[in-house]
Amino acid sequence: EAGVAQSPRYKIIEKRQSVAFWCNPISGHATLYWYQQILGQGPKLLIQFQNNGVVDDSQLPKDRFSAERLKGVDSTLKIQPAKLEDSAVYLCASSLAGTHEQFFGPGTRLTVL
């Protein structure tokens, strides 16, 4: 069974530029999550989707971050414009609906200069 796929694996941008990350969850997983992991900290949830609807985006900085999950499968997370403090690893995870076990992708490491 294929795992959660993410791309790109690494991205370096200048502050005020835009960037987008892509995630393809495990087939059949209705729930998709984006987490932000700053160096030395645990992952923090940014947004949770159930199919193509948003369940929780309370921690998403909506002035600069946006996410979508069209057709309830893959998802895109965008940052526009990026700030220095956005440097982090962005993790995508998925799970079957109603279950607590999440499967994580390899992450995208973002460096903002």
Partner 1 sequence: GDSVTQMEGPVTLSEEAFLTINCTYTATGYPSLFWYVQYPGEGLQLLLKATKADDKGSNKGFEATYRKETTSFHLEKGSVQVSDSAVYFCALSDQGAQKLVFGQGTRLTINP
Residues that bind partner 1 (CB under 8 A): 3-4, 31, 33, 35, 40-45, 48, 55-56, 91, 93, 95, 98-107
Least CB distance to partner 1 at residue 106 (A): 4
Please give the DSSP secondary-structure letter assigned to residue 85.
Answer: G
Distance of alpha carbon 72 from alpha carbon 16, whole angstroms:
30
* 67/93 with CB nearer partner 1: 93
Residue among 29, 23, 30 nearest 9 (CA): 23
* 57/81 with CB nearer partner 1: 57
* 14/40 with CB nearer partner 1: 40
Least CB distance to partner 1 at residue 36 (A): 11
β-strand 108-112 against 10-13: which pairing, if any? parallel
Least CB distance to partner 1 at residue 104 (A): 4
List Cα–Cα distances, 9 to 6, 33, 50, 81, 96, in angstroms: 7, 17, 25, 20, 25
